[in-house]
Amino acid sequence: MPRPADPALVKAVLGDAYGLDVEAMEPGGRGTVAETWIVHADGVSRFVKAIPTGRASAPVERSIPLQARLWDAGFTSMARPVATTDGRLSAVAGDHTVVVHDLIDGVATADYPFDAYVDLLAHLHATTIDVGDLVETFEDTTTLVAPFVAGLRAMQDPDATALAVKSTVDRLGPTLDEDIAEARRIQGSLAARSGLELVLTHYDAPNNVMIRPDGALVLVDWDDLLLAPRERDTWKHLIDPAKADRFLARYRLTVPAYEPDIETLHHYLLKWYFEEVEGLGGPVVDEGERPEVRARYLRWFEGAVPSYEAALRRLDRGELAWSSAVAEATSPPAQQRERQTDEQEQR
């Protein structure tokens, strides 16, 4: 894990770069990488995030100009980025990158009105801005997981905590190797395809919802904002048998012609799966990491990896989580007529 940010240094940067006369800094939630604070300055509260500069901060620094454009384009179900006194959208505090947003008056929760959430996601997908070069290119998603898996398999005498991750990877065995090979094949296929519809995507929307006091939903944590196929946002719902039908029916009220692209969905499921295997497993097998950190990541690893692996196996068997009945009921009338004509001809 990276070294924690120095709160005193962050406070100094908020004064020097943002011109904020900080009265108080309350520690906020910590994610897998970033540290956060609720900062009170000049009678206003703001949300401050410090990310280790490098691999972790790069997506943030690329996406935050797009966040500002998205807000300016009228998508205000998010936190507005705050600029420094000279117009930049981030600042440096030692070996951390600092970004500031307006503080959202709301509560983070996983218990939000599902239909309202789907409508908000569809609204995002309908919004257009200039994204520059932040466009999906289907780069290799196996560059980190492949060497991680190889290193685990070569590991000798791991301690009990690391053994939990190593045992899972060993159990997956050739299946994991096949997943890595399949991911590379799919990436090549998608990169060569033309005509893929691209929209603004969040990447982790269902886990980053807040509810305002008036009941309105807000999406937070936009570090991975990207112009990409819809499946980058829809795949999590489409692999869930408990939610897939409801999601698809509601989403098609706004996007009636939407037909999930299975190859693209498979790509994003594999990508996320690999990120969980390596991103959550890495700190667990690091025997120099603090025990409480290793234990926390192990809980996350054991909760996430088996569920996504099971979803991959269902997809391998051709078991789609959404039903054909919903596909018929919510598909555009012209498509329904075409299917009815095909059925009559077959009879």
pLDDT band at 340 (very low <50, low <70, confident <90, very high): very low
Q: Looking at per-residue confidence, does 331 or 235 come out higher? A: 235
pLDDT exceeds cutoff 90 at 329: no
Residue-wise pLDDT for 220-232, tens only, equals 999 999 999 999 9
What values do phi and psi take at 266, rounded to 5? -60, -40
pLDDT attached to residue 257: 93
Residue-wise pLDDT for 279-304, tens only, equals 999 999 999 999 999 999 999 999 99
pLDDT attached to residue 3: 77
pLDDT band at 31 (very low <50, low <70, confident <90, very high): low
**Burial (Cβ within 10 Å: 0-12, 13-18, ≥19) of residue 157:** exposed
| Residue from 134, 118, 136 nearest 126 by CA | 118
Residue-wise pLDDT for 176-189, tens only, equals 999 999 999 999 99
pLDDT attached to residue 338: 43
The mean per-residue pLDDT over the stretch 68-90 comes to 96
Q: What percent of the chain has pLDDT over 90?
A: 86
Q: Are 184 and 142 in contact (CB under 8 A)?
A: yes
Is there a shared CATH topology between the 7-103 domain and the 114-346 domain?
no
In sequence order, what DSSP letters do the residues of 250-318 get, joined into one string?
A: HHHHHSTT----HHHHHHHHHHHHHHHHHHHHHHHH-TTS-HHHHHHHHHHHHHHHHHHHHHHHHHHTT
Please state, in angstroms and as integers, the Cα–Cα distance from residue 331 to each residue in 6, 44, 248, following that order. 54, 48, 10
pLDDT exceeds cutoff 50 at 4: yes
pLDDT exceeds cutoff 90 at 128: yes
The mean per-residue pLDDT over the stretch 270-277 comes to 97
> Position 311: which residue type?
A
In the structure encoding, which two tokens stand for residue 49, read together? 């995030």
- Domain spans of the chain? 7-103, 114-346
pLDDT exceeds cutoff 60 at 326: no
pLDDT exceeds cutoff 90 at 343: no
Q: How far is the C-alpha of 127 from the C-alpha of 123, rounded, in Å? A: 6
pLDDT exceeds cutoff 70 at 315: yes
Q: What is the CATH number of domain 7-103?
A: 3.30.200.20
**pTM score of the predicted model:** 0.88
Q: Are 121 and 232 in contact (CB under 8 A)?
A: no
CATH 3.90.1200 fits 114-346, yes or no: yes
pLDDT exceeds cutoff 50 at 346: no
pLDDT exceeds cutoff 60 at 86: yes
